A and B are shown apart, each in its own frame.
Chain A
């Protein structure tokens, strides 16, 4: 009898846990996205596949001086406005010890689309597919494009926009590049973030 009772209890608890998991899995919007880590926080290593299914760890993509993580999209016009700038950023900072990686967390944009989009837009930096938006959640990413800079010790030193203008001719504040120049020079980052309008990262409801 005791054993039966224990099993029933176990079953009932599992049921309740499962119910709670189902109830908690829906997410209607980015209002429910976890808060991003604070500037200065250490970002733990993670592993994600690229569009070909090959796994990469953050550690394996880290440059000597640091890494830029860009949340990007295939369909977002704002993110697409930045394609050339993001590619140039990757090229310009590669030789300075900073790697640029892209992450696509939109559930509406599958790997095949990420791959064809990168080819079409001539994006040569590594782009990872974040199925289930786990890394977007861990980093509190809400929009595209959105940039994170980690120094060589995985410390978050910048989180925010690339610059102030969707059109290149309107750029007056090159926030991400300014931060990277300081990282490369071994200096503390002066402006650690910046806001700009962008597309909400598409998480499943």
Chain B
């Protein structure tokens, strides 16, 4: 397993439960808001309408939540990216398996905004994906990429796991190895108390 620990340029952190997910919306369509939620944020998200976020939205997504700190998994993907599509069933399964175990998970789509009502929700429906999904819509991708990781140059997919302090404890560029990622998540969750 490749374990990378690095000091990101900014303090990256986790969002917490549905409150965090709602904050991602930036006031857009409410249909992406998770329905009646349990105390540990274990609700499914309806991805029939995808929210778009800008650079500020991405910052919000990566903001630490001091009240209910949890590890967070963030996957950057696009429907045009073959390895992203290939790994998606693994991510859906990881979401299903870990949702009730205090792991937050957000999938950030880099599809063109013109696909937000077509290709993206169609793919998510096919995948039966119920983790929160947002679409990053920025005119220049560089500040967003460097906000996430100064060492990242934008290749997709890219997957980051943050511990509850918001520190990157695992990152992977290219198709994930589900076993490696699960081991990293288990470790992050094991250290949660």
Contact surface of A with B, Cβ cutoff 8 Å: 28-33, 75-78, 142-143, 146, 160-161, 164-167, 170, 172-173, 194-202
Contact = CB atoms under 8 A, between A and B. Distances in A.
Given A78-B80, A143-B154, A164-B139, A200 B146 contact: no
- For A142, A160, A199, which residue has the most chain B Cβ atoms within 10 angstroms? A199
B142 A194 contact: yes
Contacts of A76: 80
Interface of B: 2, 4, 76, 78, 80-83, 110, 112, 139-142, 145-146, 152-157, 171-177
A30 B173 contact: yes
B9 to A, nearest CB: 12
A132 to B, nearest CB: 17
A31 B153 contact: no
B155 A164 contact: no
Grouping DSSP codes into helix (H, G, I), strand (E, B) and loop, the B interface class, with mixed when no group exceeds half, is loop
A165 B80 contact: no
Contact of A29 (B78, B82, B174): B174
A172 B139 CA distance: 8
- For B110, B139, B142, which residue has the most chain A Cβ atoms within 10 angstroms? B142
Given A143-B153, A143-B155, A197 B78 contact: yes
Contact of B81 (A29, A142, A194, A199): A199
A200 B154 CA distance: 9
Grouping DSSP codes into helix (H, G, I), strand (E, B) and loop, the A interface class, with mixed when no group exceeds half, is loop
Given A28-B175, A31-B172, A143-B155, A197 B145 contact: yes
Contacts of B112: 166-167
A199 B139 contact: no
Give the top 5 A-B pairs by smallest Cβ distance, nearest first.
A29-B174, A143-B155, A195-B145, A77-B80, A30-B174
Contacts of B4: 31
Nearest to B2: A31
A50 B80 CA distance: 27
Given A164-B141, A166-B112, A172-B140, A200 B83 contact: yes
Given A143-B154, A200-B175, A201-B155, 17 more contacts: A29-B177, A30-B173, A31-B2, A31-B171, A75-B82, A77-B80, A160-B153, A161-B154, A164-B141, A165-B139, A165-B140, A197-B76, A197-B145, A197-B154, A199-B80, A200-B81, A200-B83
B155 A30 contact: yes
Contacts of B155: 30, 142-143, 197-201
A50 B140 CA distance: 34
Nearest to B157: A200
B173 A142 contact: yes
18 contacts: A31-B4, A31-B173, A31-B174, A75-B82, A76-B80, A78-B80, A142-B153, A161-B142, A164-B140, A164-B142, A195-B141, A195-B142, A197-B110, A198-B154, A198-B156, A200-B83, A200-B174, A202-B83
Contacts of B154: 143, 161, 195-198
Contacts of B171: 31
A140 B17 CA distance: 38
A77 to B, nearest CB: 4
A74 B31 CA distance: 38
B146 A195 contact: yes
A196 B142 contact: yes
B152 A29 contact: no
Given A143-B155, A198-B155, A28 B174 contact: yes
